[in-house]
Amino acid sequence: MGAVHETLLYDLADSTPCLKARICLQMKGVPFRRVTATLGRRRQLARLNPLGTVPVLVDREIVIVDSSRIARHLEAAHPEPVLIPSGREARAYATLVEQWADGALAFLVGALRWLNPANRAAAIANGAAEIAPAPLRPLVGRILARREQRRWAAWGYGPSAVPDLEERLRENLGALAALLDGKVFLLGRTATLADVAVLAQITDLQRYEEARLLAPLPDVQAWIERLAAVPAIGAALSS
């Protein structure tokens, strides 16, 4: 009998790139085991990824870091169902949307999560929930909040930037609504990596005060519901 190979995903529930990776794995029908990147596993994670970031996929002896690389590894190893369109124009469009979601949209969602005082308690609780045992979570949460505040301050952003950031997020969500006009999914009738990347950011957004910005966008809300109704995506969202 041959050796049984287990696919491992080092991840955190409170991470949009990790959610993106989990959705891709579920859509490809690849069995995997999640390994939570707790403080106690930092050395183990560093051996796989010196940067210490997640997600990290271990597929047999192959280690893949970064959600976009994981998606492309899965597409090559498991061609069906198609996650990344094969047509030149469709593939380019999916890549551009993915990069927008992972870049500009992620920036705005993340900034408002940490800079809007209304989100502070939830952001701290969500950030510390998995990585530390219960007695240490208040301390870890405070350390995490200070780290994030310093990070954003180094880029010139503080709580005073919230109105401008919110307006930019509103514009980005309006652009998403325009892309979805008359469509079931972003590239037609089948969900692709473009949908997955954007959904990961929108799912995080829905946990915070800025979720109200989705209310005037029925096309976006209907798209979210359609994606959640896809069994593989629904399974990832509920995990």
Q: Determine the straight-line distance between the first and last CA of the chain, rounded to whole angstroms.
A: 32
Per residue in 53-64, pLDDT (tens digit) is 999 999 999 999
Residue type, 14: D
Per residue in 226-236, pLDDT (tens digit) is 999 999 999 99
| Domain 88-230: CATH architecture, name and number where available | Up-down Bundle (1.20)
Residues of the chain with pLDDT > 90, as a percent, come to 95
Dihedral of the alpha carbons of 64, 65, 70, 74, in degrees to the nearest 10? 0
Give the distance between the most distant pair of CA atoms in the chain. 63
The answer to whether residue 45 scores a pLDDT higher than 90 is yes
Neighbours of 59 (CB within 10 A): 19
Equal CATH topology for 8-77 and 88-230: no
Q: What per-residue confidence (pLDDT) applies to 5?
A: 81
Per residue in 118-174, pLDDT (tens digit) is 999 999 999 999 999 999 999 999 999 999 999 999 999 999 999 999 999 999 999
3-state secondary structure of 132: coil
Dihedral of the alpha carbons of 124, 111, 208, 201, in degrees to the nearest 10? -110
Q: Where are the domains of the chain?
A: 8-77, 88-230
Pinpoint the alpha helices (H) of 16-156: 16-28, 42-48, 67-77, 88-100, 106-115, 120-128, 137-154
Neighbours of 112 (CB within 10 A): 23
Domain 8-77 fold: Glutaredoxin (3.40.30)
